[in-house]
Amino acid sequence: MRALLLEEPDSAYRILVPFVSALVLVGVFIGVFMDDDATEVVSAIVLLITSVICRRILDVRRAPGTWMFAGPTRIWALISLGFMFLAIDELLSLHEKMDRLIHLLLGLEETGWSDRIDDFIIFLYGLIGAGLMYLHRTEFRGLARFYRYLVIGFVLMFLSVLFDAANNRHEIADLLGWEGQALAWYVEITKDGEEILKVLAEVFFLFGFLSIFKHFFDERDAAAHRPPSPTRASPHWIGAGTAEQAGSKTPASRSSCP
């Protein structure tokens, strides 16, 4: 139970890594061959787990009794809330509803460009997250392993947005003159590719933040068990020598007086 609550990072690693890996494999398989909604459910679960991990990083990093949004450690609260919002977005398709709302409010007609506003919103999510992390970059110093996960995650997310945009109106297939079976293959590859790349990006983000949690937890644990450095005391002979010198000088100084 403690491992499930992420109280012990090593146990969390042993549980979460195989669990998330199996969940993604099964979810992607079901999503590709059986039910299209399966990958969305898997995506939401991965995002929620990442939100919990970032919340635990906040607990490790902030000083006891301080507000969760105080100081540079607020980034972990913001990231946790961000992943929770993304999970809700995944289940309710909020970015697609925003797309339709923008068309309604601005009176836009559906065109090849305006129909991709929802793709731009997803890309904007990533830019906001990257910007917040840059503003709080002091919290990410010395985390080289995390940056590898982060870069791979953002590359996969960008490719996912491209696949989604390519699947939107099939202009590329029309430009290449693909029809019939070729068009059907194009639609399936871009649709499934977008979902698979999206889930893989989220998995890399999850493993990256899990590595940060382990790093900060081990750092705090080592500091708690580190023995206090002893205070330097003056050797006893220094005080004695000083007293002897003071006593020997007193008669001499007196004898030199007339």
Judge whether 212 and 57 are in contact, CB under 8 Å.
yes
The token duo for 33 is: 């061959």
Which residue shows structure tokens 């977005």?
Answer: 89
pLDDT, residue 226, reads 60
In sequence order, which residues have a C-beta less than 8 Å from that of residue 68 and are 6 or more positions away?
A: 58, 62, 74, 77
Rounded to an integer, the average pLDDT of 164-190 is 75
Residue 178 inside a domain? The answer is yes
Look up residue 146 and give its DSSP letter: H
The token duo for 109 is: 């007609």
H or E, element range at 138 = none
Number of domains in the chain: 1
Length of the chain: 258
Judge whether 49 and 209 are in contact, CB under 8 Å.
no
H or E, element range at 34 = none
pLDDT, residue 230, reads 56
H or E, element range at 122 = helix 117-135
The token duo for 247 is: 């006593």
Judge whether 83 and 126 are in contact, CB under 8 Å.
no
The answer to whether residue 241 scores a pLDDT higher than 60 is: no
Residue 228 inside a domain? The answer is no
pLDDT, residue 219, reads 74
The answer to whether residue 235 scores a pLDDT higher than 80 is: no
pLDDT, residue 246, reads 46
Residue 86 inside a domain? The answer is yes
Residue 162 inside a domain? The answer is yes
Residue 184 inside a domain? The answer is yes
Sign of the torsion angle spanned by Cα atoms 97, 100, 105, 111: positive
pLDDT, residue 132, reads 92
Question: Which of 119, 208, 114, 116 minimizes the C-alpha distance to 157?
Answer: 119
Domain that includes residue 20, residue range: 9-220
Residue 198 inside a domain? The answer is yes
The answer to whether residue 6 scores a pLDDT higher than 90 is: no
Judge whether 196 and 28 are in contact, CB under 8 Å.
yes
Residue 56 inside a domain? The answer is yes
- What confidence category does residue 203 fall into, taking pLDDT thresholds of 50, 70 and 90? very high
Rounded to an integer, the average pLDDT of 42-47 is 91
In sequence order, which residues have a C-beta less than 8 Å from that of residue 171 and are 6 or more positions away?
A: 112
Measured distance CA(13)–CA(185) in Å, rounded: 38
pLDDT, residue 229, reads 54
Residue 125 inside a domain? The answer is yes
